[in-house]
Amino acid sequence: MSATAPARPGNEIGRMTGLTLFTPVRRAWRPFLRLGFFVAWHAKVFNRHILQFNFIKFVRWTIVRDLPGEGLSYSYMLFESNFDGPWQHYIDAFAYVIPKDIRLTWGRGINFPYPPPSEPLKAWIARNSMEGGTYYCAYPQASTRMVRSALEVRKRFGALAREAERLTPEEFKAAYERFLVDAQAHL
């Protein structure tokens, strides 16, 4: 009996996972959802709120009214998130930290399992997750935290590098040590 290779997942590469959901929205809820997204888009605090989870790189919500040639009677919500690690960990964090946000967004979907607990939500996601295809990330081995730290190091290091030539050795050594202390958390 020959061993067969496991199917290649279409939503994982390196440390990254892509989660795509396509779920129906109740007709009566659609205007409120659109309004909620509109307000959230303009309220910049939202970006900080959703990205309090430092494992998310990009996340988007898109209301799909119809698809070419379909004439769908429901509207659907396309949700795509790109984050570090397996989605089961991601959902645990969401279910327990921001359950109200999840309820507001999907709670008017049909038969949506309100979190917490997270297990029914995970089962719902597994049912609705779009699988297959291909997935790409330009820096798949770098976690969101690593990216953020690297950007911070680059910003601080640039100032040191620009000053280095005009400093005496003693001044440079002091500046270098200050840089190491300041950037310690990001190295």
Partner 1 sequence: MADYRNRVGGVYALTVFTPILPGHEDELRDHLAALPLGEEGPLARLDQLHVSRIQIFDELVDQGPPHRRETLERAHLLFTSTIDGELDPYLDAICERIGDEADGWWGHCAGYPGTADRAAFRRYIRAHKIDTNLLAVANPGATVRDVRESLALRERVVDFAAEVQGLDATALRERFLTAFADVR
Q: Nearest distance from residue 20's CB to partner 1, in Å? A: 6
Q: Nearest distance from residue 132's CB to partner 1, in Å? A: 5
Nearer to partner 1, 116 or 157 (CB): 157
User: Tell me, what amino acid is at 14?
Assistant: G
Q: Nearest distance from residue 165's CB to partner 1, in Å? A: 7
Q: Which residues in 25-54 contact partner 1 (CB under 8 A)?
A: 33-34, 37-38, 40-41, 46-47, 50-51, 54
Q: Which residues in 115-174 contact partner 1 (CB under 8 A)?
A: 127-128, 130-140, 142, 144, 146-151, 153-154, 157-158, 161-162, 164-165, 167, 169-170, 172-173
Of the candidate spans 86-94, 96-104, 114-122, 179-187, the one that interacts with partner 1 by CB under 8 A turns out to be: 179-187
Q: Nearest distance from residue 146's CB to partner 1, in Å? A: 7
Nearer to partner 1, 2 or 70 (CB): 70
What are the b/e assignments for 85-119, b being 16+ CB within 10 Å? eebeebbbebbeebbeebeebbbbbeebbebeebe
Supply 116's token pair: 């917490």
Of the candidate spans 18-26, 86-94, 95-103, 115-123, the one that interacts with partner 1 by CB under 8 A turns out to be: 18-26
Q: Give 86's DSSP letter.
A: -
Cα distance from N-terminal residue to C-terminal residue, the chain = 49
Of the candidate spans 14-22, 86-94, 95-103, 115-123, the one that interacts with partner 1 by CB under 8 A turns out to be: 14-22
Total number of residues binding partner 1 (CB under 8 A)? Answer: 85
CA-based angle 111:18:86, to the nearest 5? 85
Q: Which residues in 77-106 contact partner 1 (CB under 8 A)?
A: 78, 80, 82
- In a 3-state reduction of DSSP, which class is residue 64? strand
Q: Which residue has the tokens 């970006």?
A: 47
Q: Give 114's DSSP letter.
A: P
Supply 128's token pair: 């609705």
User: Tell me, what amino acid is at 94?
Assistant: F
Nearer to partner 1, 1 or 58 (CB): 58
Residue closest to 106 by CA, chosen among 88, 86, 130, 125 = 125
